[in-house]
Amino acid sequence: MSKELEKNYDPQKYEDSIYKKWEESGFFNPDVCIAKNICESDADTFTVALPPPNITDKLHMGHVVMIAVTDILVRYYRMRGRRTLWIPGTDHAAIATQNVVEKKLLAEENKTRHDLGRVEFLARMQEFISQTQATIIHQLKKTGGSLDWTREAFTLDERRQTAVKKMFIDMYKDEVIYRGYRIVNWCPRCQSTLADDEVEHYEQDAKFYTFRYAKDAPFAISTTRPETKLGDTGVAVNPEDKRYQSLIGKTYNIDFCGVKLNLKIVADSGIDMKFGTGAVGVTPAHSLIDYEIAQKNDLPVKKVINEDGKMADDLNNFSGLSVIEARELVVELLKNNGLLEKEEDIKNNLSVCYRCHTAIEPLTSRQWFIGVDKKLKRLGNQSLKERAIAVAKENQLKFMPERFTKRYLDWMENLHDWCVSRQIWFGHRIPVYYDIFDQENLDGFLYLKKDSLNIDIEKCKSLASTDKSMSFITNIVPGKNSQNDIIVTAFNFSFANALVKNGVIKRGDLIKSIDYVEVGKCKKWEVFSDEKKIGDSYVQDPDTLDTWFSSGMWTFTTLGWPLKAGRAGESGSKNDLANYHPMQFMETGYEILTLWVSRMVMMSLFALDEIPFENVYLHGMVLDKHGKKMSKSKGNGIDPLDMISKYGTDATRLSLIVGSTPGNDMKLSEEKIAYFRNFTNKLWNIARFVFSIAGETRLGDSPELQAKTLADKWILELLSQVESEVTKKIESYDFSGAAEALKKFTWDEFADWYLEIAKIEGRKEDMLVFVLKKLLILWHPFMPFVTEAIWQEMNNERFLMVTQWPVQDSSLKTKPAKKILPEMEIIKNIVSALRNLRANCKISPAKKLRAVIYTENSVQLLKNNLELIKGLRTGVTEIEIAKKGEKISKAAYASVSACEIYIPLEGVIDLKKEEEKIKKQAEDLNRLIKGLEKKLDNADFVQRAPKDVVQDQVDKLELYQTEAKQLKNQLKYLK
């Protein structure tokens, strides 16, 4: 009785149930593998953290690449007996996710987050997450990644919150984190700061204005942004510039469009004398470069654009105008007063927010920074930047492909302090607290939640009138302050203090009802994580941390940090940090090398003084078949889940592996995926055939193997070659090459030759089962589902997933020999030649033919394998074999492997046509021969080239000459 498989492999039928079985087996978890003796407790580790997909994402092809690549290695090393751990999780992606929910809120309820308030808004966020997070996790499981779900993490869950707080506090204590008043990238729409690399640049048409500030100004300046000139506090010139040298150091009081400017002329060698007028208005509050010039020259910083993208209060006519309106007004006034000297069209780069594409405003703001140049005792008196550079230079941290090391180093070397505070609500809130009743300079305001306090307004008014330093506002006009749409009452700190002192409000009640505080004005703060300490007296900083702060900690928070490291060699997740850090591998797209990878390195170095991972493999982008980026708006994206349900996970994954190289973009088409679906089906049918030959009872056994025939020896030899080739290629990250070598063996050798031979020779149960099993093992990392499905059908008790990878015999040659088992090659060559002759002469395969083969040395070999030659679809039913014989005329002739083959053709085809074809072939060959002869006549070549190369050429020439002779013979015999 043989077991029968379905005619076609149906991935839908197997994938989900197999994944469930794997999960239930616990083998994704190294602790279970150790307990069940799949690996030793002190085996080498292979640890990876899955780059956590954003919770708002759907899975895209990039994710599948990442999983396919990593899963190949994870499964491979698991089968090799390493302690293998791959930790899954999701990322809260602060700004991105908040944007999605805010858009939704606006569309569905026409509300902003301020309408809801922080608590209610975060509740909505939570609601949203609970749906989307489940989606992405479900999708991750569909990809077949062998992830240890018992260790699943989320960048904003409770453990990560504890870790982030500790990290912040530790960094603060070491003065790596500091509070600074600096120029930052501000997105007026997101109402938040952005990191430098979250800003994108687009070229646009702009006007370049050249003008004098006023009639009495002794210089003209040029700018594309005249409105910012309201904030100028200086004018910079090149110290070499003779036009302005005499002015350096002087100060001018100027009326610029009705606004008083106090401009000091300073020298800066960075100024290009040839560009514009050679004099640059310095706007410290709204340009990074100007800010730096201002710092060097002690110029004051004057902020003229507010966080809402509108002009500041004290600019008379300009106040409250948008940036664009202000620009138009400035230009108009300049024109009216005859101050505008030039107006040119130029191209310049507009900076926009990478999330919402709103133009960003550089402006000064009080923010939290990570000082990358701060020397740290814990890092041997090196800075984060220095250590992060050193680990890459010392090759502790390796990149694949290597060229990305350079990009990493370039980026690191130019790194500025990193602004980590974000003015959004969704994320890790900064653990900084302010006692607003204990501020030396109480000029800040606090805004109350709508209807949160019942206060006697009249009483407040009378209280306020007693002291000039106290003020309060009610019913603020919406829009004047970006935070105030819902605010009806605001106090300054002095007034709040007075209210508490006079018993109008209880301190705790006041703090509870605060919606927003201008903590930027506070000069004292505390940093701690102690919930009890917070009590009723502190206001927490409203800001949250840059999303990369927490995702930068991913590699060690997923292993339990800040819990103690635990004990290496002992099982259980409490020992993860000791057992599995640093990780061995990180796989991600090259586009976030700087955004994320570099941050993980710094965070890990700070927390543990260890690199987060040893190897970084960067994959390219998946483009559509025309080489365009896949995007939702273009609608050219290929949805991996559609592909998975249509063609199966294995085919989808393989299509992303074969034909792609690390670091390079790849084009993907549905046809390519379909091709690999065909291949999974081919493998399935190989198994189906083996099952039909070998009885069911035998499938589970590991038969004692006996190679009985030539073909048996040949296929085993090939198999062992391919084993070592695949192993080698996986370890050197050549997944495409490994899969191709395997595919070649599977399809071109095993299926096309050996299975056909098996049908003829018969009694191959053991051989077929043996090779099939090996094939399943070798294919498993690449195609986990179909291989496991077949394995399970073979009644194997153990999972294929934890079956041992064949251990390599190190004596095996690394390069496959050109010809394995020459006798088998002779047979194959003859079969090919027979097919070839027939096809060339366009003889229908149905037409039975007779052949005559003359051979000096292989008579016995051919006679032994006569049935093979006849049976392997040559359509030759009668073969005469002899050492030598009489010449045969009017026959197709071929000579391979020292065998002369004749197929009498009289009455079968048009002999004249055939003759012409052969003549043409002979001409081509002669050309090759002449070339080769010339090469061998060249003394330089013969002397200098390696001997084996020369020998190759000599052999080749001989071969050609023989072939040429054969063609002559062909002509001869055709007549």
Partner RNA sequence: GGGUUCGUAGCUCAGUUGGUUAGAGCGCCACGUUGACAUCGUGGAGGUCAGAGGUUCAAAUCCUCUCGGACCCACCA
Sheet holding 539-540, edge to edge: 526-527, 432-434, 539-540
Q: How far is the CB of 324 from RNA (least distance, A)?
A: 16
Distance CA 91, CA 56 (A): 9
- CB-nearer residue toward RNA: 514 or 739: 739
- CB-nearer residue toward RNA: 408 or 973: 408
Distance CA 726, CA 741 (A): 7
State residue 640 phi and psi, 5-degree precision.
-60, -30
- CB-nearer residue toward RNA: 207 or 378: 207
Q: How far is the CB of 268 from RNA (least distance, A)?
A: 8
Does residue 582 have a cis bond before it (omega within 30 degrees)? yes
Q: How far is the CB of 528 from RNA (least distance, A)?
A: 34
Distance CA 765, CA 226 (A): 86
- CA R_g for the chain: 38
CB count in 10 Å sphere of residue 447? 22
Sheet holding 199-212, edge to edge: 220-223, 199-212, 340-353
Q: How far is the CB of 86 from RNA (least distance, A)?
A: 26
User: Going by DSSP bridges, is the β-strand pair 613-619/398-400 parallel, antiparallel, or unpaired?
Assistant: parallel
Distance CA 143, CA 15 (A): 9
| Contact between residue 409 and residue 625 where contact means Cβ atoms under 8 Å apart | no
- CB-nearer residue toward RNA: 43 or 356: 356
> Which residues in 777-865 belong to E strands, given as ranges?
849-855
Distance CA 607, CA 376 (A): 12
Q: How far is the CB of 118 from RNA (least distance, A)?
A: 32
- CB-nearer residue toward RNA: 414 or 454: 414
- CB-nearer residue toward RNA: 176 or 271: 271
Instruction: Rounding to the nearest 10 degrees, give the CA dihedral for residues 392, 397, 398, 399.
Output: -80
Q: How far is the CB of 684 from RNA (least distance, A)?
A: 8
Q: How far is the CB of 906 from RNA (least distance, A)?
A: 20
User: What counts of helices (H) and strands (E) characterise the chain?
Assistant: 34, 33
Helix (H, G, I), strand (E, B) or coil at 971: helix
- CB-nearer residue toward RNA: 29 or 594: 594
Q: How far is the CB of 941 from RNA (least distance, A)?
A: 4
- CB-nearer residue toward RNA: 163 or 699: 699
- CB-nearer residue toward RNA: 28 or 404: 404
Q: How far is the CB of 222 from RNA (least distance, A)?
A: 6
Q: How far is the CB of 818 from RNA (least distance, A)?
A: 5
Q: How far is the CB of 457 from RNA (least distance, A)?
A: 47
Burial class (CB in 10 A: 0-12, 13-18, 19+), 956: middle
| Contact between residue 207 and residue 265 where contact means Cβ atoms under 8 Å apart | no
Burial class (CB in 10 A: 0-12, 13-18, 19+), 842: exposed
Which secondary-structure segment (H or E) carries 975?
Answer: none
Q: How far is the CB of 564 from RNA (least distance, A)?
A: 38
- CB-nearer residue toward RNA: 275 or 477: 275
- CB-nearer residue toward RNA: 296 or 406: 406
Sign of the Cα torsion 503, 506, 511, 512 reads: negative
- CB-nearer residue toward RNA: 33 or 742: 742
Q: How far is the CB of 627 from RNA (least distance, A)?
A: 6
- CB-nearer residue toward RNA: 168 or 219: 219
Listed in sequence order, the residues at least 6 apart from 974 whose beta carbon sits closer than 8 Å to its beta carbon are 889, 890, 891, 892, 893, 905, 911, 914, 915, 918
- CB-nearer residue toward RNA: 916 or 940: 940
- CB-nearer residue toward RNA: 527 or 623: 623
Listed in sequence order, the residues at least 6 apart from 425 whose beta carbon sits closer than 8 Å to its beta carbon are 98, 113, 118, 121, 122, 125, 542, 544
Distance CA 891, CA 911 (A): 9
**Residue spans of alpha helices (H) in 176-228:** none
Q: How far is the CB of 414 from RNA (least distance, A)?
A: 6
State residue 265 phi and psi, 5-degree precision.
-90, 125
Distance CA 50, CA 67 (A): 8
- CB-nearer residue toward RNA: 74 or 221: 221
| Contact between residue 771 and residue 750 where contact means Cβ atoms under 8 Å apart | yes
Q: How far is the CB of 687 from RNA (least distance, A)?
A: 8
Q: How far is the CB of 842 from RNA (least distance, A)?
A: 5
What does the DSSP assignment read for 62-89? HHHHHHHHHHHHHHHHHHTT-EEEEE-E
Distance CA 141, CA 24 (A): 13
Q: How far is the CB of 408 from RNA (least distance, A)?
A: 10
Helix (H, G, I), strand (E, B) or coil at 654: helix
Enter the tokens of residue 839: 């096809």
- CB-nearer residue toward RNA: 448 or 831: 831
- CB-nearer residue toward RNA: 403 or 708: 403
Burial class (CB in 10 A: 0-12, 13-18, 19+), 907: exposed
Q: How far is the CB of 956 from RNA (least distance, A)?
A: 5
Distance CA 773, CA 686 (A): 11
Distance CA 194, CA 184 (A): 7
